[in-house]
């Protein structure tokens, strides 16, 4: 072979190698781009089954005699959901989303979207409007089942929230701020989140953009199956901040079936009042770290009482599932049916033991199941940095609250800092619980609160019931 031929052969080989490397790089870019989901087909198929829901209340706010001032739950929904701006003696309007379950017009949405409504209007994707009636509502799970008189409607398919994995892509469709058929996407950020607001729901946490008006809309997996119902956001501004929460489909399905059959939901009941175990309490009980649910009260002749649970016990496992946080216990109880028998592992007098309990049925009047405390407040200690900036020695920050709790009724707001209760300085949640637990039914305590760099007193009253 001549030298010229050899040189040409080398050049050809180099070109082939260059083309091969380029092809590999292009394939690599293709794989990276291909790893991002294409939601267009999902949206086209699911969109027709998504509805807009508006609720109208003609009556003046029965909870609000103060000439149009915001009702106690208003701050909660301004932070987490879809409350309208209060108006002077005007009919109240709510706005939310929902989706069609059956071809003859069953629709699922959030309870808080329709709870106060005298008239409910459902607008379909094709712009047809129907008046809806309520089949059943469940405040504890924040779900409501509606019915419109229609036929041949498009429906959505249920998926399993249990099979979802953290990091998996999900998509939401709803009507934020009234912008119908708005699509947002993100990933599952966490599972089985226990919030202070809805203690029977093990929420899905996502970073999908959810805003007022999205409530009640579906959360989809990549197969186009409904795996959640968008319900709340956690925010310090009233808008989306990357923390969105959805009711898992497995929880919703159980609620829907019971609402269809009974018009209400029957839930298991343990019959205890629990509180969080902080580091100080953990040390006092001989625990290596803060874990479990501390039983502060046992309902006389309730399931826990009959099983032998006592005040001062720390529940470490419920039906073989570890309780790392007290808020994790109520959703576990709620997964069961009345009459189920469960095994409870506990710490008593420094010793671990176990017992079996037969769960009862949650009485109708008990709207706050297994409440960590009757205030309904979600509190956390003030950080040293924030305490220094506010020039205080310590306190508890209100991070959230139940609309049904005494904290919301007192006028407390998310972001408030509780400095003292009944003249006692508060440095930990244990301090706070110690003081308020001494209050009798109907009694009040004065909270010293820091708000907008000003201090004020707020009366916190324990409910009569």
Kindly state the tokens that stand for 317. 């496992």
For 62-66, 159-163, 254-258, 396-400, which range has the lowest pLDDT when averaged over its residues? Answer: 62-66
Burial class, 216, CB count within 10 angstroms (exposed 0-12 / middle 13-18 / buried 19+)? buried
- pLDDT category at 442 given cuts 50, 70, 90 is confident
Say yes or no to pLDDT of 18 above 70: no
Say yes or no to pLDDT of 363 above 60: yes
Q: What is the pLDDT of residue 300?
A: 84
Q: What is the pLDDT of residue 80?
A: 40
Instruction: Give catalytic status of residue 284 as yes or no.
Output: no
- pLDDT category at 34 given cuts 50, 70, 90 is low
Q: Out of 3.40.640.10, 1.20.120.330, 3.40.50.720, 2.30.42.10, select the CATH number for domain 268-361.
A: 2.30.42.10
The mean pLDDT value of the chain amounts to: 81
Return the higher-pLDDT residue of 275 and 369. 275
Instruction: Give catalytic status of residue 383 as yes or no.
Output: no
* pLDDT one-digit tens code per residue, 289-334: 889 998 878 888 899 999 999 988 999 999 999 998 888 888 889 8
- Contacts within 8 Å (CB) and 24+ apart, 366-370: 366/269, 367/139, 367/140, 367/404, 368/199, 368/402, 368/404, 368/405, 369/140, 369/199, 369/200, 369/267, 369/269, 369/330, 369/333, 369/334, 370/199, 370/270, 370/272, 370/273, 370/274, 370/329, 370/330, 370/333
Q: What is the pLDDT of residue 345?
A: 96
Return the higher-pLDDT residue of 268 and 366. 268
Say yes or no to pLDDT of 337 above 50: yes
- pLDDT category at 74 given cuts 50, 70, 90 is very low
Q: What is the pLDDT of residue 465?
A: 59
Instruction: Give catalytic status of residue 142 as yes or no.
Output: yes
Say yes or no to pLDDT of 371 above 80: no
* pLDDT one-digit tens code per residue, 130-178: 999 999 999 888 999 999 999 999 999 999 999 999 999 999 999 998 8
Q: What is the pLDDT of residue 86?
A: 43
Return the higher-pLDDT residue of 452 and 190. 190
Say yes or no to pLDDT of 207 above 80: yes
Q: What is the pLDDT of residue 288?
A: 87
Catalytic residue among 112, 189, 231, 373: 112
Please name the CATH architecture into which domain 377-461 falls.
Roll (2.30)
State the pairing for strand pair 157-158/225-233: parallel
Q: What is the pLDDT of residue 365?
A: 43
172 close to 140: Cβ distance less than 8 angstroms = no
Q: How many CB atoms lie within 10 A of CB 95?
A: 21
Say yes or no to pLDDT of 183 above 70: yes
Task: Specify the pTM.
Answer: 0.65
Catalytic residue among 215, 231, 326, 371: 215
* pLDDT one-digit tens code per residue, 223-233: 999 999 999 88
Q: What is the pLDDT of residue 63?
A: 37
292 close to 285: Cβ distance less than 8 angstroms = no
Catalytic residue among 61, 142, 250, 313: 142
Say yes or no to pLDDT of 419 above 60: yes
The class of domain 37-265 in CATH terms is: mainly beta
């Amino acid at each position: 072979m001549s030298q010229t031929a050899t040189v040409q052969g080398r050049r050809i080989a180099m070109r082939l190698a260059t083309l091969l490397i380029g092809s590999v790089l292009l394939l690599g870019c293709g794989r990276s781009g291909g790893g991002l989901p294409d939601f267009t087909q999902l949206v086209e198929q699911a969109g027709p089954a998504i509805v807009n829901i508006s609720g109208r209340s003609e009556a003046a706010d029965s909870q609000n005699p103060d000439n149009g001032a915001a009702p106690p739950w208003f701050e909660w929904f301004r932070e987490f959901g879809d409350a309208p701006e209060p108006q002077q003696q005007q009919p109240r309007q709510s706005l939310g989303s929902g989706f069609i379950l059956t071809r003859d017009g069953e629709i699922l949405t959030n309870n808080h979207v329709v709870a106060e409504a005298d008239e409910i209007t459902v607008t379909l994707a094709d712009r047809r409007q129907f008046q809806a009636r309520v089949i059943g509502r469940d405040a504890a799970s924040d779900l409501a089942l509606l019915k419109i008189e229609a036929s041949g409607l498009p429906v959505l398919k249920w998926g399993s929230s249990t099979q979802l994995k953290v990091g998996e892509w999900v998509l939401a469709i709803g009507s934020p701020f009234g912008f119908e058929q708005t699509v947002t996407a993100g990933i599952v950020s966490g599972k089985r989140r226990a919030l202070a607001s809805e203690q029977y729901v093990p929420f899905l946490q996502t970073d999908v953009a959810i805003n007022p008006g999205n409530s009640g809309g579906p959360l989809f997996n990549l197969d186009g199956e409904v795996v959640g119902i968008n319900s709340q956001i956690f925010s310090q501004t009233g808008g989306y901040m990357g923390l969105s929460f959805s009711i898992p489909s497995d929880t919703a399905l159980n609620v829907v079936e019971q609402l269809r059959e009974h018009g209400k939901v029957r839930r298991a009941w343990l019959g205890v009042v629990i509180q969080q175990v902080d580091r100080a309490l953990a040390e006092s009980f001989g625990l290596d770290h803060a874990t479990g649910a501390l039983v502060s009260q046992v309902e006389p002749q309730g399931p826990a009482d009959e099983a032998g649970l006592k005040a001062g016990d720390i529940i470490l496992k419920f039906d073989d599932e570890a309780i790392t946080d007290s808020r994790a216990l109520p959703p576990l109880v709620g997964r069961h049916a009345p009459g189920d028998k469960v095994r409870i592992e506990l710490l008593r007098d420094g010793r671990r033991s176990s017992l079996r309990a037969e769960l009862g049925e949650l009485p109708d009047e008990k709207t706050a199941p297994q409440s960590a405390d009757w205030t309904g407040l979600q509190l956390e200690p003030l950080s040293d940095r924030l305490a220094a900036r506010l020039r205080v020695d310590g306190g508890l920050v209100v991070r959230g609250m139940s609309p049904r709790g005494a904290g919301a009724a007192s006028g407390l707001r998310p972001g408030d800092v509780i400095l003292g209760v009944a003249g006692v300085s508060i440095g930990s949640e244990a301090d706070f619980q110690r003081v308020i637990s001494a209050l009798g039914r109907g009694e009040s305590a004065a909270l010293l609160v820091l708000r907008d760099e000003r201090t004020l007193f707020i009366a916190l009253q324990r409910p009569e019931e």
